[in-house]
Amino acid sequence: MTDTIYFYAQTDPYGEFSNFAPFGVDKEGLWWRTVEHYFQAMKFQDIAHRERIRMCSRPKQAKALGMTRDIPIRSDWEEVKDGIMMEAVLDKFTLHRGPRDLLLSTGDAQIVENAPMDAYWGCGPDGQGLNRLGEILVQVRDELRG
Protein backbone atom coordinates (compact mmCIF):
# COMPACT_ATOMS: atom_id res chain seq x y z
CA MET A 1 0.00 0.00 0.00
CA THR A 2 1.32 3.44 -0.85
CA ASP A 3 1.85 5.95 1.91
CA THR A 4 -0.26 8.62 0.20
CA ILE A 5 -3.30 8.28 -2.04
CA TYR A 6 -4.17 11.24 -4.24
CA PHE A 7 -7.59 11.76 -5.78
CA TYR A 8 -9.33 14.52 -7.67
CA ALA A 9 -11.21 13.81 -10.91
CA GLN A 10 -13.94 11.18 -10.99
CA THR A 11 -12.10 9.39 -13.80
CA ASP A 12 -8.88 9.05 -11.77
CA PRO A 13 -8.11 6.10 -9.51
CA TYR A 14 -9.97 6.72 -6.23
CA GLY A 15 -12.31 9.11 -8.04
CA GLU A 16 -15.08 7.71 -5.83
CA PHE A 17 -13.61 9.84 -3.04
CA SER A 18 -14.55 13.03 -4.91
CA ASN A 19 -17.60 14.94 -3.71
CA PHE A 20 -18.62 15.08 -7.38
CA ALA A 21 -18.77 11.26 -7.61
CA PRO A 22 -22.32 9.99 -8.29
CA PHE A 23 -23.10 8.64 -4.85
CA GLY A 24 -26.05 10.39 -3.24
CA VAL A 25 -26.74 11.14 0.40
CA ASP A 26 -29.91 11.28 2.45
CA LYS A 27 -29.74 14.48 4.49
CA GLU A 28 -32.28 16.97 5.83
CA GLY A 29 -35.01 14.46 4.94
CA LEU A 30 -34.15 14.78 1.24
CA TRP A 31 -32.10 12.88 -1.34
CA TRP A 32 -29.08 14.75 -2.70
CA ARG A 33 -27.41 13.47 -5.90
CA THR A 34 -23.89 14.01 -4.56
CA VAL A 35 -22.10 15.25 -1.48
CA GLU A 36 -21.29 18.38 -3.50
CA HIS A 37 -24.99 19.13 -3.99
CA TYR A 38 -25.66 18.88 -0.27
CA PHE A 39 -22.58 20.77 0.84
CA GLN A 40 -23.17 23.70 -1.52
CA ALA A 41 -26.83 23.97 -0.53
CA MET A 42 -26.02 24.07 3.18
CA LYS A 43 -24.19 27.36 2.69
CA PHE A 44 -27.57 29.07 2.47
CA GLN A 45 -30.57 29.51 4.70
CA ASP A 46 -32.74 30.42 1.71
CA ILE A 47 -34.82 27.25 1.22
CA ALA A 48 -35.67 28.04 -2.42
CA HIS A 49 -31.98 28.43 -3.27
CA ARG A 50 -31.13 25.19 -1.47
CA GLU A 51 -33.76 23.43 -3.56
CA ARG A 52 -32.38 24.91 -6.79
CA ILE A 53 -29.00 23.47 -5.87
CA ARG A 54 -30.49 20.11 -4.90
CA MET A 55 -32.28 19.82 -8.23
CA CYS A 56 -29.18 20.47 -10.37
CA SER A 57 -28.50 17.59 -12.72
CA ARG A 58 -24.72 17.81 -12.28
CA PRO A 59 -22.46 18.60 -9.32
CA LYS A 60 -20.63 21.26 -11.36
CA GLN A 61 -23.92 23.18 -11.64
CA ALA A 62 -24.55 22.74 -7.91
CA LYS A 63 -21.10 24.14 -7.14
CA ALA A 64 -21.68 27.14 -9.41
CA LEU A 65 -24.93 27.96 -7.59
CA GLY A 66 -23.14 27.47 -4.28
CA MET A 67 -20.45 29.95 -5.25
CA THR A 68 -22.90 32.77 -5.90
CA ARG A 69 -22.97 35.62 -3.44
CA ASP A 70 -26.16 37.14 -4.88
CA ILE A 71 -27.81 35.27 -2.02
CA PRO A 72 -26.02 35.70 1.30
CA ILE A 73 -24.39 32.67 2.86
CA ARG A 74 -25.31 31.75 6.40
CA SER A 75 -23.52 33.78 9.05
CA ASP A 76 -22.09 30.74 10.83
CA TRP A 77 -20.74 29.05 7.69
CA GLU A 78 -17.07 29.15 8.66
CA GLU A 79 -17.89 27.54 12.02
CA VAL A 80 -20.12 24.75 10.66
CA LYS A 81 -18.71 23.83 7.25
CA ASP A 82 -16.29 21.14 8.45
CA GLY A 83 -19.02 19.40 10.46
CA ILE A 84 -21.41 19.53 7.52
CA MET A 85 -18.76 18.03 5.27
CA MET A 86 -17.98 15.30 7.80
CA GLU A 87 -21.65 14.31 8.14
CA ALA A 88 -22.20 14.19 4.37
CA VAL A 89 -19.02 12.23 3.64
CA LEU A 90 -19.81 9.75 6.43
CA ASP A 91 -23.33 9.32 5.03
CA LYS A 92 -21.95 8.67 1.53
CA PHE A 93 -19.54 5.98 2.66
CA THR A 94 -22.09 4.41 4.98
CA LEU A 95 -24.76 4.17 2.26
CA HIS A 96 -22.64 3.01 -0.67
CA ARG A 97 -20.75 -0.27 -0.43
CA GLY A 98 -18.40 0.23 -3.40
CA PRO A 99 -16.91 3.51 -2.19
CA ARG A 100 -16.87 2.21 1.41
CA ASP A 101 -14.92 -0.91 0.42
CA LEU A 102 -12.49 1.20 -1.60
CA LEU A 103 -11.95 3.58 1.33
CA LEU A 104 -11.39 0.70 3.74
CA SER A 105 -8.90 -0.87 1.30
CA THR A 106 -6.59 2.14 1.70
CA GLY A 107 -5.13 0.76 4.94
CA ASP A 108 -3.40 3.51 6.87
CA ALA A 109 -2.44 5.60 3.85
CA GLN A 110 -2.74 9.35 3.98
CA ILE A 111 -5.47 10.57 1.61
CA VAL A 112 -5.01 13.84 -0.27
CA GLU A 113 -7.45 15.72 -2.46
CA ASN A 114 -5.10 16.82 -5.25
CA ALA A 115 -7.07 20.03 -5.84
CA PRO A 116 -4.70 22.65 -7.24
CA MET A 117 -7.16 25.52 -6.79
CA ASP A 118 -8.31 24.65 -3.26
CA ALA A 119 -5.90 25.08 -0.38
CA TYR A 120 -8.60 24.47 2.24
CA TRP A 121 -10.29 21.21 1.22
CA GLY A 122 -7.37 20.08 -0.96
CA CYS A 123 -3.60 20.34 -1.19
CA GLY A 124 -3.68 23.63 -3.09
CA PRO A 125 -1.35 24.84 -5.85
CA ASP A 126 1.86 24.16 -3.93
CA GLY A 127 0.87 20.95 -2.13
CA GLN A 128 0.84 22.75 1.21
CA GLY A 129 -2.94 23.19 1.56
CA LEU A 130 -4.90 22.08 4.60
CA ASN A 131 -6.36 19.03 2.81
CA ARG A 132 -9.42 19.02 5.07
CA LEU A 133 -11.35 16.68 2.76
CA GLY A 134 -8.52 14.16 2.84
CA GLU A 135 -8.41 14.42 6.64
CA ILE A 136 -12.18 13.88 6.81
CA LEU A 137 -11.87 10.79 4.61
CA VAL A 138 -9.28 9.38 7.01
CA GLN A 139 -11.62 10.12 9.95
CA VAL A 140 -14.51 8.41 8.14
CA ARG A 141 -12.28 5.41 7.36
CA ASP A 142 -11.39 5.13 11.04
CA GLU A 143 -15.03 5.41 12.08
CA LEU A 144 -16.16 2.78 9.58
CA ARG A 145 -13.55 0.38 10.95
CA GLY A 146 -15.28 0.72 14.31
Residue 1 reports pLDDT greater than 50: no
Residues 43-78: tens digit of each pLDDT: 999 999 999 999 999 999 999 999 999 999 999 999
pTM for the structure as a whole: 0.95
Query: Could you give all domains of the chain from N- to C-terminal order, each with its CATH number?
Result: 4-145 (1.10.357.40)
- Residues 74 and 46 sit within 8 Å (Cβ to Cβ): no
- Residues 12 and 118 sit within 8 Å (Cβ to Cβ): no
- Residues 5 and 106 sit within 8 Å (Cβ to Cβ): yes
